[in-house]
Structure 1
Amino acid sequence: MEIHHFKTISSGIPIYGGYVQPKTIRGVVVLVHGFGEHSGRYLQDVVPMLTDMGLAVLFYDNYGHGQSGGKRGHCPSYGALLELLSEMLGKATDLFPKAPQFLYGHSMGGNLVLNYALRHKNHLRGVIASSPYLRLAFQPPKWKMVLGKAMMKIWPSVTMPSGLDPNGISGIENEVAQYKADPLVHDKISPMFTFPMIEAGEWAIDNAANLRIPTLLIHGTADPIIDFNGSGEFHSNNPEFTTLELFENGYHELHHDRCREEVFIVIQSWLRQQL
């Protein structure tokens, strides 16, 4: 699998990206990673699963993540996150002008792809949201939320520990160990990343009925990081255009969990229907 790397500038910040393509291209997927991690963590499993179907995959590291620039765990604004996603879709159009486009987002990326589909005019063929960050599965300490909201007004770029427990990403010990050992993974988050993301998650649930793009929602029922009931509410508000697949005892990163083969079968089956 040959990876083509590229760099660009968005909101004055250097952004790293890359893409892979099969010999015969049936479509293109723009992949958006989760908070605190980076696109490279998808190259061993998710990306090959998609290219095996004849799908090119364009991926990138968000502001403050991975190989992209910016303060770790901080972004210019939520609008900038959506604009960067729009720019990546534009890049995908330039590279593969005739290919139908899909979005694939995990966790934070799931929040972004759903909000993009709801808020922006587009020609997407479909959206896949993996454990989408619509609502947290845990309640952050009250003092932390109060302090964060105060900092949002006076120092929105200050970062604090995210509180994300790495043990919640997978039931496979080796996957958790690899996550902890990854030098590009971080646990910092700023108020500018925190509160607009939380608000956008609730907004997406409330406005899900307006979605007119086929959307697959996948979530594990044992996810201790993001509440799977948020995905359930999103689906309940738009059963016509969304498909919800829950994986019993699945943790946060289903593509790195014990049920990954079953998850990939569901994703590929859904994609075949859209193609």
Structure 2
Amino acid sequence: MYNEEDLENSRGEKLAVHTWKPRDDEGFYVFGHDHVGHGKSDGRRVYIENVDDYCDDVIQHCLLVKEKYPSLKLFIVGHSMGGMITVRSALMHKNFFHGMILNGPLIIPGPQVLGMDLRASPFRTFVSRAVLKFLSLFIPETPLGGPDLHMVTRDMEMHKILKKDELRWTGGCKVRLLLAFTDCLDENINQLSDVRTPFLIIHGSKDILCNPVGSDLLYRRSMCADKKFKVYEGSKHQLFFELPHVRNEAFQDVAEWIKERT
């Protein structure tokens, strides 16, 4: 059963909350919210100066649900930017989550981020940050680049659905938001060995937005004993929107991984 309501975060902004109570969805109680500045939530559109604000909202929401259902084990699911937020939240609040599922997480940007390959050298990354800092002083809300659904999924029917979604942002990543991402990614990657939360990573081999190398790096560096990394050959960025047989496999893998730990 689906329900939608509002939640006020610690900064006084309204978040649009979505809840799916158990019916036949593997018996899971599922909840989430639109990040501030996204979807139906308050805030300047796709603009933030510190990713930790996203993380604070996630933790606040989870704590409220835990008050209602204290015996439930808490699993967090994050895709792309949400994967970055998930990793950051797990690092900031160790032992808070029983497990996390990362779907094409943003750990190392792919070569199609603004047309720049940020893996090329530390110097190029430094230059990128310096440029972003400069630009953010004058044009913080200017979007750079733009979305290409062919990078997201091979499923053309899903393209049609996404194009009809009026809440989907289509203007590219804003300068200040990208700088906040860069700062968070640096902090995350320097702490990957501190990730202790059990995790499942699923990643498309043809993802050029969030590099699968980043997922592999997390898998190898994390000191967590309970971890799994699965690559879906030929798949692109959003496995949950991929071709039907791929997304069905991905959903099944996630459900089975969670059930084995509940």
TM range (shorter): 0.7 to 0.9
In the alignment, which residue of structure 2 is the partner of 1:250? 235
In the alignment, which residue of structure 1 is the partner of 2:3? 3
By how many angstroms is 1:228 displaced?
0.8
| SS of residue in 2 equivalent to 1:80 | helix
Larger mean CA deviation between 8-17 and 107-116 belongs to 8-17
By how many angstroms is 1:149 displaced?
2.3
The answer to whether the 8 A contact 1:73-1:188 is kept is: no
Deviations 1:160-204 (A, max 9, x none): 144332221110111122212211011343333212223323432
| Change in 2 beyond 3 A, CA 1:165/1:145 | farther
By how many angstroms is 1:141 displaced?
4.8
Q: For the residues of structure 2 that align with 1:145 and 1:162, how far apart are their CA atoms?
A: 16
| SS of residue in 2 equivalent to 1:124 | coil
Which of 3, 26, 33 is 1:53 aligned to? 26
Ranges in structure 1 where 5+ consecutive residues have no aligned partner: 24-50
In the alignment, which residue of structure 2 is the partner of 1:220? 204
By how many angstroms is 1:155 displaced?
4.6
In the alignment, which residue of structure 1 is the partner of 2:124? none
Q: For the residues of structure 2 that align with 1:92 and 1:126, how far apart are their CA atoms?
A: 16
TM-score after normalising by structure 2? 0.85
Deviations 1:38-87 (A, max 9, x none): xxxxxxxxxxxxx6221111110011110011121102422211111111
Q: For the residues of structure 1 that align with 2:181 and 2:128, how far apart are their CA atoms?
A: 16
In the alignment, which residue of structure 2 is the partner of 1:78? 51
**CA RMSD for the aligned pairs?**
2.2
In the alignment, which residue of structure 1 is the partner of 2:101? 128
Q: For the residues of structure 2 that align with 1:245 and 1:90, how far apart are their CA atoms?
A: 30
In the alignment, which residue of structure 1 is the partner of 2:122? none
Counterparts of 1:111-122 in structure 2 under 5 Å? Answer: 111-122=84-95
| SS of residue in 2 equivalent to 1:55 | coil
Counterparts of 1:71-220 in structure 2 under 5 Å? Answer: 71-138=44-111, 139-141=113-115, 147-152=131-136, 154-155=137-138, 157-186=140-169, 187-220=171-204
The answer to whether the 8 A contact 1:15-1:68 is kept is: yes
Which of 237, 247, 253 is 1:266 aligned to? 253
Q: For the residues of structure 2 that align with 1:173 and 1:204, how far apart are their CA atoms?
A: 34
Q: For the residues of structure 2 that align with 1:249 and 1:218, how far apart are their CA atoms?
A: 13
Which of 217, 227, 231 is 2:215 aligned to? 231
Identity %, equivalent residues: 22
Which aligned segments of 4 or more residues in structure 1 are displaced greater than 6 angstroms? 142-145
Aligned partner letter, 1:181:
K
By how many angstroms is 1:19 displaced?
1.1
Aligned partner letter, 1:256:
F
By how many angstroms is 1:118 displaced?
1.2
Ranges in structure 2 where 5+ consecutive residues have no aligned partner: 117-126
By how many angstroms is 1:113 displaced?
0.7
Larger mean CA deviation between 180-189 and 220-229 belongs to 180-189
